[in-house]
Structure 1
Amino acid sequence: MSDPGLNSLLKWGIQNSEASRNDAATAQPPPEIDREALLRLMTGMSGPSDAQLMQESMQVIRNDEAKLEHRITAFDNFEQLIENLDNANNIESTGLWIPLVEQLENKEAELRFYAAWCCGTAVQNNIKTQERVSSPRLSIRLRRMANRLQLLVVGAIPALVRLATSDNERKVRKKAIFALSSSVRNFQAALDAAVEHMPAEFKPQEKLDANDMESVDKLINKLRESV
């Protein structure tokens, strides 16, 4: 059963049954029932999958005729969805990497901000996500690395460098730096690409090692100090 709400209904039923069999003085009160999940169960409606929600959000984000506030809300929803590692991995399978990276060039600063944020979220090593996923940590790192590779393949690094070093909006620059920091650590190809596209004032004199965090921080800290 993949629906969290329906899972909670099953858990509620089991706990409620156990509570009725236990001594009233010692039994813990059962949790409240998920009324929305119960309604879905009764009506046979399970709702759209996270992948569908991601695609629907991106449709709104890319719709130039939609109100900016609606596009921002859709981007916020998208970012929350991809905080989950499985959903972040689904960016590739749903064909959403290119549409996401395209938003880095959007004329609206808020949309550039969210695009950079989502790029960073999709590739960062999120401890909370690691705790929620049952796969071994090595597997999680490999899956994160796959997302970093996709970010490199679709050409996001040059765009993120431009935002991080020259965007007019400070908060956009900060999110772009966050995305770069998440992308280049432990991934030499992405770090090399970032250095290659850096303006002269940010370009390090020595070769940086993506597996050495102090080495990476020489670049990232210089970017942060410029904001």
Structure 2
Amino acid sequence: MAMDPTMNKLLKWSVQNSQQQNEDGTTTAPPSASEAARTLTPDMINALMGGPSDADLMKAAMEVLHSDESDLENKMIAFDNFEQLIEGIDNANNLEPLGLWSPLVKLLDHENADMRRYAAWCIGTAVQNNEKAQDKVIVLNAIPKLVKVATTDSNPATRKKAVYAISSSVRNYQPAMNELTSNLPEGYPSDKIDASDMDAIDPLMDKLRAHPVSSA
């Protein structure tokens, strides 16, 4: 049975930071505690402490979010934890290998406004200054979904987070900017907008925030 990668790293770390016996019979002292600690990763620390890794926590949170047995309060807690975890770019980039992007985007269609709000919020957090994540938004066709939420959702807070996600997705990433301009409602600019031109993007985001939504 193959050893868990984290445990394998931990074993190597333990060997490297133990007292070494030399061929001439002398010993080499291990590094200081501070030097050894600098080479420990969060996952290795969790393994030492017996706790779950960030990847485990992210997967567990998504399971709660899609579970029919979890109530809204627990889903909100799971979403809050999930959003904090993906603030780190390493965890944000782990969304793809963990298979969490698709279930996250799917939650933009949830019947509950708070679930849609948090889904947009998490997308916005994951894609900030992260081209790898910005590309996933295009691949998963999330831009049209976000535009729909931003311009038609009955909940103002949900619309606001959708605009935040759109803004984070398109800034400094031209493919996402092009995808946005091709999916904007009537009355919005259809000409190409430079993704690095903040003076052009900011007014567009302001217009999306002020988009009139008919009351149900």
Tell me the TM-score normalised to structure 2 length: 0.74
Q: Aligned partners of 1:179 and 1:164: how far apart in 2? A: 10
Q: Aligned partners of 2:56 and 2:164: how far apart in 1? A: 27
| Corresponding residue number in structure 2 for 1:53 | 57
| Corresponding residue number in structure 2 for 1:129 | none
Aligned 1:151-190 pairs, distance under 5 A: 151-190=137-176
Structure 1 residue 97, shift from structure 2 partner = 0.2
Q: Aligned partners of 1:153 and 1:54: how far apart in 2? A: 21
What SS is found at the alignment partner of 2:50? coil
Q: Deviations over 1:116-175 (max 9, x none)?
A: 0000000113xxxxxxxxxxxxxxxxxx10110011101111110001111000000000
Q: Deviations over 1:20-72 (max 9, x none)?
A: xxxxxxxxxxxxxxxxxxxx89xx64211000100000000011231111111
Pick one of 108, 113, 134 that aligns with 1:148. 134
| Corresponding residue number in structure 2 for 1:196 | 182
Structure 1 residue 14, shift from structure 2 partner = 5.3
> What runs of 5+ residues in structure 2 fail to find an aligned partner?
1-5, 11-31, 35-45
Structure 1 residue 224, shift from structure 2 partner = 2.1
| Corresponding residue number in structure 1 for 2:203 | 218
2:96 alignment partner AA: E
Q: Percent identity?
A: 49
Structure 1 residue 180, shift from structure 2 partner = 0.3
| Corresponding residue number in structure 1 for 2:29 | none
| Corresponding residue number in structure 1 for 2:74 | 70
> What runs of 5+ residues in structure 1 fail to find an aligned partner?
4-12, 16-39, 126-143
Q: Deviations over 1:60-96 (max 9, x none)?
A: 0011231111111101110010011110110011010
Aligned 1:78-117 pairs, distance under 5 A: 78-117=82-121
Q: Aligned partners of 2:180 and 2:112: how far apart in 1? A: 24
Structure 1 residue 206, shift from structure 2 partner = 3.4
> RMSD of aligned C-alpha atoms?
2.2
Instruction: Provide closer, same or farther for how the CA distance between residues 207 and 64 of structure 1 changes in structure 2, counting only shifts above 3 A.
Output: same
1:220 alignment partner AA: M
Structure 1 residue 186, shift from structure 2 partner = 1.1
| Corresponding residue number in structure 2 for 1:209 | 194
Q: Aligned partners of 2:190 and 2:112: how far apart in 1? A: 34
How many equivalent pairs are there?
173
What SS is found at the alignment partner of 2:95? helix
